[in-house]
Amino acid sequence: MLSAVGTLTTMGLVLGGLLGTAARYLAVEENPIEAELQSLLPGSQCGQCGYVGCAQAAAALARGEALVTLCPPGGKAIAEALAAKLGIKVDLSAVADDGPRLAVVAEEICTGCCRCSKVCSTDAIVGAAKQIHNVIREACTGCGACIERCPTEAMSLVPLPVTLQHWIWPMPANV
Amino acid sequence: MGYFERIFKEPRWGVHPDDHKRPAADAALRLLPPPARVYMPLSQHVGGAARPIVLVGQQVHKGQLLAEAQGNISAPIHAPVSGKVSSIGEVTAPHASGLGFGAIVIDSDFADRWIDTDPVADPFSLSPEEITRRTAAAGVVGLGGATFPSALKFSLGKRLAVGTLIVNGGECEPYLSSDDRIMRDSADQVVDGVRIVMHAIGARVALVGIEDNKPEAIAAMRKAAAAYPEVRIRPVPSRYPMGSDKQLIQALTGKEVPADARAAEVGVLVHNVSTCAAVHQAVRLGRPLVERIVTVNGGAVARPGNIFVPLGTQVDELLAFCGLNEAPSRLILGGPMMGTLLAHGRVPLVKGVSGIIAFDAREAAVPRAGPCVRCGSCTKACPMGLLPLEMAAHIRSGDLAGAVDFSLTDCIACGCCAYVCPSHIPLVQYFSHAKGELAARERTRLRSEAAKRLAEARLIRLERESREKAEAAARRQAERKAAKALAAASASQAQAVVT
pLDDT in tens, B121-144: 999 999 999 999 999 999 999 998
Pairing outcome for strands B305-310 and B340-342: unpaired
Whether the CB of B483 is below 8 Å from some CB of chain A: the reply is no
Q: d(Cα A29, Cα A31) in Å, to the nearest integer? A: 7
Q: Which of A85-94, B96-105, B466-475 has the lowest mean pLDDT?
A: A85-94
Mean pLDDT on B219-228: 96
- Which residues neighbour B282 within 8 Å (Cβ) at sequence distance 6 or greater? B134, B135, B137, B138, B140, B288, B289
B116 vs B64, B79, B113, B308, B497, CA distance in Å? 9, 13, 9, 22, 89
B97 within some domain: no
Whether the CB of A161 is below 8 Å from some CB of chain B: the reply is no
Chain B neighbors of A123, CB-CB under 8 A: 454, 457-458, 461
Per-domain residue ranges of chain A: 33-94, 101-159
Q: Give the dihedral sign, CA B159/B160/B164/B170.
A: negative
Euclidean distance between the first and the last CA atom of chain A, given in angstroms as a whole number = 71
Residue B473 has pLDDT above 70, yes or no: yes
At residue B309 the predicted structure's pLDDT band, cuts being 50, 70 and 90, is: very high
Angle formed at CA A124 by CA A120 and CA A125, multiple of 5 degrees: 80
> For chain A, how big is the Rg over CA atoms in Å?
25
Average pLDDT over all residues of chain A: 86
Q: d(Cα A150, Cα A148) in Å, to the nearest integer? A: 6
Of all residues in chain A, what percent are helix, strand and coil, respectively (each to 5)?
Answer: 40, 10, 50
Percent of chain B with pLDDT over 90: 85
At residue B1 the predicted structure's pLDDT band, cuts being 50, 70 and 90, is: very low
In this structure, which amino acid lies at residue A175? V
Residue B339 has pLDDT above 80, yes or no: yes
Mean pLDDT on B22-32: 94
* CB interface of A with B, residues 71-110, below 8 Å: 77, 100
Q: d(Cα A172, Cα B412) in Å, to the nearest integer? A: 19
Whether the CB of A170 is below 8 Å from some CB of chain B: the reply is yes
Containing structural domain, residue B457: 377-467
Chain A neighbors of B447, CB-CB under 8 A: 141
| Residue A77, min C-alpha distance to chain B (Å) | 9
Picking from B81, B58, B60, B279, the residue whose alpha carbon sits closest to that of residue B189 is B279
pLDDT of residue A64: 85
Chosen for mutation from A118, A168, A174 (greatest number of chain B CBs closer than 10 Å) is: A168
B135 within some domain: no
Average pLDDT over all residues of chain B: 93
Q: d(Cα A73, Cα A78) in Å, to the nearest integer? A: 9
In this complex, the residue of A121, A167, A172 whose CB is nearest that of residue B455 is A121
Residue contact B369–A138, C-beta within 8 A: no
Q: d(Cα B293, Cα B30) in Å, to the nearest integer? A: 9
Helical axes A75-86 vs A32-40, angle rounded to 10°: 160
Chosen for mutation from A41, A136, A164, A174 (greatest number of chain B CBs closer than 10 Å) is: A164
Whether the CB of A121 is below 8 Å from some CB of chain B: the reply is yes
Give the single-character DSSP code of B22: T
Q: In chain A, whose CA is at the least distance from the CA of B437?
A: A168
In tens, the pLDDT along A134-150 reads 999 888 888 888 998 89
B111 within some domain: no
Domain count, chain B: 1
Q: In chain B, whose CA is at the least distance from the CA of A141?
A: B451
Q: d(Cα A55, Cα A60) in Å, to the nearest integer? A: 9
Chosen for mutation from B448, B459, B465 (greatest number of chain A CBs closer than 10 Å) is: B448
Half-sphere exposure of B458 (CA within 13 A, CB side): 20
CB atoms within 10 A of CB B146: 15
In this complex, the residue of A44, A124, A168 whose CB is nearest that of residue B433 is A168
pLDDT of residue B20: 93
Architecture of the domain defined by A33-94: Orthogonal Bundle (1.10)
- DSSP string over B388-407: HHHHHHHHHTT-HHHHHHTT
pLDDT of residue A80: 83
At residue B5 the predicted structure's pLDDT band, cuts being 50, 70 and 90, is: low
Whether the CB-CB separation of B26 and B39 falls below 8 Å is answered with: no
At residue B8 the predicted structure's pLDDT band, cuts being 50, 70 and 90, is: low
The reply to whether ipTM tops 0.85 is no
CA B378 and chain centroid, separation: 27
B429 within some domain: yes
Angle formed at CA B372 by CA B369 and CA B374, multiple of 5 degrees: 150
- Which residues neighbour B333 within 8 Å (Cβ) at sequence distance 6 or greater? B94, B315, B339, B340, B342, B347, B353, B355, B356
pLDDT of residue B7: 54
In tens, the pLDDT along B247-301 reads 999 999 988 999 888 888 889 999 999 999 999 999 999 999 999 999 999 999 9
In this structure, which amino acid lies at residue A165? Q
CB atoms within 10 A of CB B163: 14
Q: In chain B, whose CA is at the least distance from the CA of A124?
A: B454
pLDDT of residue A6: 96
Report the predicted TM-score, pTM, of the whole model to 2 decimal places.
Answer: 0.85
> What φ, ψ does residue B267 adopt, rounded to 5°?
85, 20
In this structure, which amino acid lies at residue B45? H
Picking from A29, A8, A41, the residue whose alpha carbon sits closest to that of residue A141 is A41
Mean pLDDT on B187-212: 95
Residue contact A168–B426, C-beta within 8 A: no
Residue contact B454–A122, C-beta within 8 A: yes
| Residue B71, min C-alpha distance to chain A (Å) | 16
Chain B neighbors of A122, CB-CB under 8 A: 451, 454-455, 458
Q: In chain A, whose CA is at the least distance from the CA of B340?
A: A169
Q: d(Cα B302, Cα B326) in Å, to the nearest integer? A: 9
Total count of residues recorded for chain A: 175
B145 within some domain: no
Q: d(Cα B434, Cα B400) in Å, to the nearest integer? A: 7
Picking from B213, B235, B240, B177, the residue whose alpha carbon sits closest to that of residue B17 is B240
Residue contact B454–A123, C-beta within 8 A: yes
Q: d(Cα B259, Cα A19) in Å, to the nearest integer? A: 45
Mean pLDDT on A93-118: 85
Whether the CB of A138 is below 8 Å from some CB of chain B: the reply is yes
Classify domain A101-159 by CATH number: 3.30.70.20
